Amino acid sequence: MEFSPDTPWQKVLDAVRRWARINSPWAIHYNSGSCNGCDIEILATLTPRYDLERFGVKLQGSPRHADILICTGPVTRQSRERLLRIYEQMPDPKFVVAVGSCGLSGGAFRGCYNIVGDISEVVPVDVFIPGCPPRPEAIIFGMVKLLESLKKGKAEVATVSEGAHA
């Protein structure tokens, strides 16, 4: 039996994949050169107080099993190749969330001799979450926005700004 994009079986399989991706996205976290302030806030979202896992998001240790790359910090010359390698190891479709001012623009480190630039200069970013560091509520809001765009059928580039504060 041949599977083409038009067969009913393929449409059912695509629907099941999309449902699983939306209800149980696996994320990997990568620090591309930040001061660790954003990393602490990302880890705070996983604690019982904020509980990011209630939306199905699970932190994963391998990029080969992850759907979402949560990246912090400006991209340093040393981490550029590693970031690209992690991104390329992720299966398609893959999504990138840039967390913190440094991830969006280079922040306080912009213009330094060892900084390549922000995350979007190295890999395509789907969601930008500003702040130095952003509050856990803002990170959760950004992840929910990404999941909502997946429910609509495509990921749209979004910047978290309103409704992200408690």
Residue-number span of the structural domain to which 34 is assigned: 23-159
**Structure confidence at residue 77 as a pLDDT band (50, 70, 90):** very high
**Does residue 74 lie in a domain region?**
yes
Q: What is the pLDDT of residues 94-111, one digit of tens each?
A: 899 999 998 898 888 888
Is the pTM higher than 0.95? The answer reads no
Domain containing 114 — which CATH number? 3.40.50.12280
**Does residue 2 lie in a domain region?**
no
**Does residue 14 lie in a domain region?**
no
Q: How many domains does the chain have?
A: 1
**Does residue 16 lie in a domain region?**
no
Q: What is the pLDDT of residue 57?
A: 85
**Does residue 33 lie in a domain region?**
yes
Question: Which two tokens mark 80?
Answer: 């550029």
**Does residue 11 lie in a domain region?**
no
Question: Which two tokens mark 51?
Answer: 């509980």
Closest CA to 99 of 125, 129, 75: 129
Q: Which residue has the tokens 């991104």?
A: 87
**Does residue 63 lie in a domain region?**
yes
Q: What is the pLDDT of residues 125-142, one digit of tens each?
A: 999 999 989 999 999 999
Query: How far apart are alpha carbons 44 and 51 in whole angstroms?
Result: 8
